[in-house]
Structure 1
Amino acid sequence: MFSPEKFIEEIEPQIRSVVGDNRVVAAVSGGVDSTTAAALMYRILGDKVTPVMIDTGFLRENEANRVKDLLKSVMPLKIVDRSERFISSIEGLEDAEEKRKKFRDVFYSTISEIVAQENSRFLVQGTIAPDWIETQGGIKTQHNVLVQLGINTEKTWGFSLVEPLADLYKNEVRELARYLGLPREISERQPFPGPGLLVRCVGRLSKEKLEITRKSNAIVEDLLEPLRPSQYFAAVFESNSSLDTKLSELLHDQIMVYSVKSTGVKGDVRTYGKMASFSLRDNYTQIREISQKITSGEYTRALMRVRTTKGKYTVAIRAVSTEDFMTADIVEIDPSLLSRIADELLRIPGVGEVVYDVTTKPPATIEFE
């Protein structure tokens, strides 16, 4: 059974032996992993640690200021705005892996400059076990997995990595966060990926799509928060689709296939395929059966159409329950609530369709990219 107190007792001498008297920069994304890693280091090393949050342009609405305010009683957080740099570097890219790797390059080039400015040579980040397991398994490249891929950070970017949570799973990180006195809004916060809204802006990145993703996430988070799913958000992609005649006949429904691709996992191997949608149902036993039939073939995800009108973009609602984030089940949201969320989302200019992602992990990953 995990004991936060015992964990700190064991990790503290290891950290002190590695860091010595040097200054340390701790990268904070706003998610529970990176924030807990920074708080742990601050507990052990005090003001030798500079917690830094980079505004990449892919944060949620008012994210940086909100996190800084939440942490003011725990540790001082420095905000560095590099949003234009990130967005201009990635805008126009389409492939999920290419986007993740470009984000990684820009992120670590930026953090390298900050580490140098702070007269440090150590970077702390919140890598946890599922991050490197999924990366080494080829499911998807987590932007914060470096050493496990053989990347020499000292040679490439001029700093050494400290990853105090690398052997922990999400439930253990939350226990540690509570023990460290982090506010509930952080310790119980749903995960937020390092690349942020970039991985929810599916396919080609544009500023228009990014802003729709930001607004959609705010609506979905607000309306699903009372249900307390493990993770819940919105993803956005172009609505371009065509009819799969064969599957439509088999399932006695209109099965639409989108041109954009998303990430999935089958047999512990990454898949990168198209998504298919079917008509709104209220019976989740039937919904699960349809989802399984769609994803048993070539498709990565099964999406249930909640509302369809005219518009350039589709917003996909995602809500899952999980213990360790290695597997995840869908949340059985009442169709009336889905309809209410869809009504709000369709008020965003450019949104013409709302779907609910009803794919478990596996065969889909939790995030779309």
Structure 2
Amino acid sequence: MIEPKAFVEKAVAKLRSVEGRAVAAVSGGIDSTTAAILAYRALRERLTPVMIDTGFMRKGEVNSVSTALRPLIPIRVIDARKDFISQLYGKSDAEEKRKTFRELFYRKLGEVVKEVGATHLVQGTIAADWVETAGGIKTQHNVLLQLGLDPKELYGFSVVEPLVELYKDEVRAVARYLGVPEELVRRQPFPGPGLLVRVLGTISEEKLELCREANYLTENYLADLNFSQYFAVVFEAEGELRDGVKFYRVRATGVKGDNRVYGKIVSIGWNHKDLESVRQLVMKLSAGDVTHVMIKVAEGKGKYAIGIRAVTTDDFMTADFAKIPEERLMELGEALASIPQVGEVLYDVTSKPPATIELE
């Protein structure tokens, strides 16, 4: 574990060596927020912190994040929703969605860099991001250098990554030392591509808006349980029943050994009284090409499935599914099932590995 004071002093001194102006990419997550605050300490008026509104943010997120951060850094919001949505609607493959998002994201930042006359981009890449990307598990949108990509040649700027050797718990320790408010330090982790990778399979306006509402409800219902991460995903409920197990048509990302696998999602009956039996069944199913096993907690009348994901973890490299109290899980399930488009509500009971935390 790092010593925050020594890390901050060293990081700020290194950032002061950056020549000219810089842009800091801020999502509102703790990684990018901490990187931007470090850079602002070092560069002050030479830094332009920006938040790109991609259209894949959570409900009310752009306004709440920018309002919370303005006392700390002079953040500027860039509305790029039309550009992102027009390029991503209709895409279905998880890696294609992530890579398309990365290209759009950096091209938009390149425009800002050029506009303000900057030469560098500060971003909050942490160790888990480049480890998963370099290992082929999933392409994190903020990983370039570790893949041999030259951002200066591609987008017109050099990348500065002050947190690249830290893990999430270390980033939070640095943030607290910097005086970041606890509500931001403990804010739920959110992937760079946002709801884009929580809408499984093909992206559509209907699924995106349903995902936004489902995430809003899930975060509100589980906020006081202090799990490491919790959210909802949306996918078509179509599937095939085999020996009491439903196999869905959509696939999700998992990790086996050091390799990414793109396997099946399945659901089984709810057996809250014997979680060990559930765990054994999960292990049996995931020995094949299954990456995520879920239990059904509620039914509705629509055509989409909502998957609830909640995990506990120290470093986000491995994780166990959280044990949500039965009554709370049932309440959340019924609330989600009351949305007209929802046909069933499921709870993901797969640990990492063999599953990943985010499903795409």
Q: Is the 8 A contact 2:30 2:175 kept in 1?
A: yes
Q: Does 1:9 align with 2:22?
A: no
Give the CA RMSD over aligned residues.
Answer: 1.0
Q: How does 1:252-271 map to 2 (within 5 A)?
A: 254-271=244-261
Residue 109 of structure 2 aligns with which residue? 111
The count of residues paired between Structure 1 and Structure 2 equals: 359
- Partner Cα separation in structure 2 for residue 72 and residue 280 of structure 1: 45
Secondary structure class of the residue paired with 1:300: strand
Aligned partner (choices 49, 52, 58) of residue 50 of structure 2: 52
Q: Give distance in 1, aligned partners of 2:102 and 2:330.
A: 37
Q: Which residue of structure 2 lines up, in the alignment, with residue 179 of structure 1?
A: 177
Aligned partner of 1:81 in structure 2 is 79
Q: Is the 8 A contact 2:13 2:42 kept in 1?
A: no
Would you say the 8 A contact 2:120–2:159 is kept in 1? Answer: yes
1:25-44 mapped onto 2 (5 Å cutoff): 25-44=23-42
Aligned to 2:296: 305
- Cross-structure match for 2:135: 137
Counterpart position of 1:251: none
* Matches of 2:101 and 2:70, distance apart in 1: 28
Q: CA separation in 2, counterparts of 1:368 and 1:279? A: 21
User: Which of 323, 335, 342 is the aligned partner of 2:333?
Assistant: 342
Any idea what SS the aligned residue of 1:113 has? helix
1:119 deviation in Å?
1.1
Structure 2 residue 356 is the aligned partner of structure 1 residue 365 = yes
What's the CA shift string for 1:43-70, capped at 9, x where partnerless?
1211211110010000001111101111
Give the Cα–Cα distance (whole angstroms) in 2 for the partners of residues 347 and 134 of structure 1.
36
Identity %: 52
Instruction: Tell me the TM-score normalised to structure 2 length.
Output: 0.98
SS in 2 for 1:59: coil
Aligned residue for 2:187, secondary structure, equals coil
Q: TM-score, normalized by length of structure 1? A: 0.96
Cross-structure match for 1:95: 93
> How far, CA to CA, are the matches of 2:278 and 2:350 in structure 1?
10
1:140-155, aligned counterparts within 5 Å? 140-155=138-153
5+ residue gaps, structure 1: 249-253
Map of 1:206 onto structure 2: 204
Q: Which of 142-151 and 335-344 deviates more?
A: 335-344
TM superposition outliers: structure 1 runs of 4+ over 3 Å: none
Quick check: 1:132–1:145 contact (8 Å CA) kept in 2?
Answer: yes
**What's the offset of the Cα at 1:11?**
2.0
Determine helix, strand or coil for the equivalent of 2:318.
coil
* Deviation of 1:13 (Å): 2.8
- Structure 2 unaligned regions, length at least 5: none
CA distance in 1, matches of 2:348, 2:192: 22
- On the 8 A contact 2:299/2:337 being kept in 1, the answer is no
What do the CA deviations read for 1:315-334 (whole angstroms, capped 9, x no partner)? 00000000000000111112
CA distance in 2, matches of 1:309, 1:27: 40
Q: Which amino acid aligns with 1:207?
A: E
Equivalent residue number for residue 318 of structure 1: 309
Deviation at 1:75, TM superposition (A): 1.1
Residue deviations 1:149-195, cap 9 Å, x none?
11111111001100000000000000011111111111111211100
Deviations along 1:283-321, whole A, 9 cap, x unmatched?
Answer: 322221221121122211101011123321000000000
Q: State whether structure 2 residue 184 is matched by structure 1 residue 189.
A: no
For the Cα contact (< 8 Å) 1:68–1:76, is it kept in 2?
A: no
